[in-house]
Amino acid sequence: MTPLDRAPDRTPVPTGTGLTLEDATGPLAATPGTGPLPEVHTTRAAFREALAAKVRAAVGNGVLKPTVGLVPTMGALHGGHASLVRQARAENDIVIASVFVNPLQFGDPADLEHYPRTLEADRQILGAAGCELVFAPDTQEMYPGYPDAPIVTVSAGRMGEVLEGSSRPGHFDGVCTVVAKLWNITAPPAPARLRSYFGQKDAQQLAVLRRLQADLDIAVEIRPVSLVRSPEGLALSSRNTRLSPESLEAALVLHRALAGLAEDADAGRPLDLHGARAQVRAEPLAALDYLEVVDHATLEPLSPEQLAAPLDREALALVAATFEPVRLIDNVILPGPAR
């Protein structure tokens, strides 16, 4: 059994959760292999020194402008995280990751306290996927003086107040603050340049971070990684391990509802958003929070007039629902007119 076959608490999980290698599709279908364990550094100074040494070695080997692929994580890694590292490995000269449980994005102190911290198991997964260096600071290293710091933080603005943000006030502000810090901490020395990898699974987070990079002119290239699903269509998530077999089956309604909207968009038909919501609500084990179609770049909801006509540009459909009592999210990119 490989590290990818285990849930965040490292106990085996059954197929059907979307968390085993047997469930994985796309980048995870191949055998992960056994790569060397990455170096772990817990201070900014030590990490920067190690990264600078990697850049110097790459330049010494004839790479004129090395690229560094960063995968920011909060640990408790599974196959979805590994897909990010694998894509970074395929596209970059140097691959790094961060493992930091960010207190600024937790609304409930109990959730922060109980979040799994499994650095050694995470290190195995990162190494198997091709990561070379890991930045794993404690809270005081990231936020000296916490909980009285940081005093200055980054706001996600109105993009952080809708959808997931409406039920998790301040969450995306915490995400923006920690990611901005990580981009600055891991910025490699010249002539290297930084790329940062995020999963399409967290579509709102990806949209917010793209805006953060653009609005603050941060020297990083954001690279999205496609959402990974089980063969049945369930989006990969560590929360899947908490679902009963009945809820696992019921949760597939999210993908079916999104797939119907994607079929509408592909066919150039108006989007039947009302029918998609009704499909989720008809599942007895599902409690729908939201199902919305929004502008892919701004997260502004499409107007009734836009929904009643074929899409004139790419859009994003997002859904969140609770299944006894696990809250799941999913999304699909809706294509605009064929070019």
Residue 98 contacts by C-beta under 8 Å, 6 or more apart in sequence?
Answer: 70, 71, 72, 73, 134, 135, 136, 182, 186
As a whole number of angstroms, the distance between CA 18 and CA 234 comes to 6
As a whole number of angstroms, the distance between CA 14 and CA 122 comes to 20
Closest residue by Cα to residue 311 from 330, 295, 292: 295
As a whole number of angstroms, the distance between CA 226 and CA 326 comes to 23
Is residue 88 within 8 Å of residue 95, measured between CB atoms?
yes
Q: What Å distances lie between residue 185 and 74, 103, 109, 190, CA to CA?
A: 16, 18, 26, 14
User: Which two structure tokens, joined as six digits, stand for 129?
Assistant: 């996927």
Closest residue by Cα to residue 277 from 299, 294, 253, 296: 253
As a whole number of angstroms, the distance between CA 110 and CA 325 comes to 17
Is residue 264 within 8 Å of residue 335, measured between CB atoms?
no
- CA end-to-end span of the chain, whole Å? 46
Is 81 one of the annotated active-site residues of the chain?
A: yes
Residue 220, SS3?
coil
Choose the catalytic residue: 41, 78, 81, 171.
Answer: 81
Closest residue by Cα to residue 278 from 296, 266, 295, 260: 260
As a whole number of angstroms, the distance between CA 252 and CA 259 comes to 11
Which positions are annotated as active-site residues? 81
